[in-house]
Amino acid sequence: MSETFILIPGRTAKQGCGISEGKFKDGYQSEINNLQICEEDMQRIGVSPGGRVRVVGEHGQIDVDVKASPKGELPSGMLFIAYGDLSSQMMGGDTHGTGMPTSKGMDVTVEVLRAGAE
């Protein structure tokens, strides 16, 4: 069963610090390869940190590991992923003349692939 959410890619502070160490180091890779979901939504769809979900949008799909968003930072119904390879796979190619594809407010569905730590 899948559920609809709004996906918001963006930069994180840890990602910004990690870039000085290199994009292929563990710290940076960990930031860009996890989907943040609020605890309420994780409980509702039956996934926990360490679980894995499939995110499907208009322009692509990704399979990504889940981590809890910091308390109070992400409202129910919204997902966050740091800019990187996975978030780019969800964006279309049209930049509307800005040089950056639309990356905010993408409607996506989420399907749980692995529930996570039990």
Rounded to the nearest 5 percent, the helix, strand and coil shares of the chain are 20, 35, 45
Whole-model pTM over 0.95: no
Residue 107 has pLDDT above 70, yes or no: yes
Q: Where does the pLDDT of residue 6 fall: very low under 50, low under 70, confident under 90, or very high at 90 and above?
A: very high
Residue 79 has pLDDT above 80, yes or no: yes
Q: Where does the pLDDT of residue 99 fall: very low under 50, low under 70, confident under 90, or very high at 90 and above?
A: low
CATH number at residue 102: 2.40.40.20
Q: ∠ at Cα 113 (110, 116), nearest 5°? A: 105
Biggest CA pair distance of the chain = 47
CA distance 112 to 10: 23
Residue-number span of the structural domain to which 28 is assigned: 2-114
Name the domain count of the chain: 1
Q: Where does the pLDDT of residue 1 fall: very low under 50, low under 70, confident under 90, or very high at 90 and above?
A: low
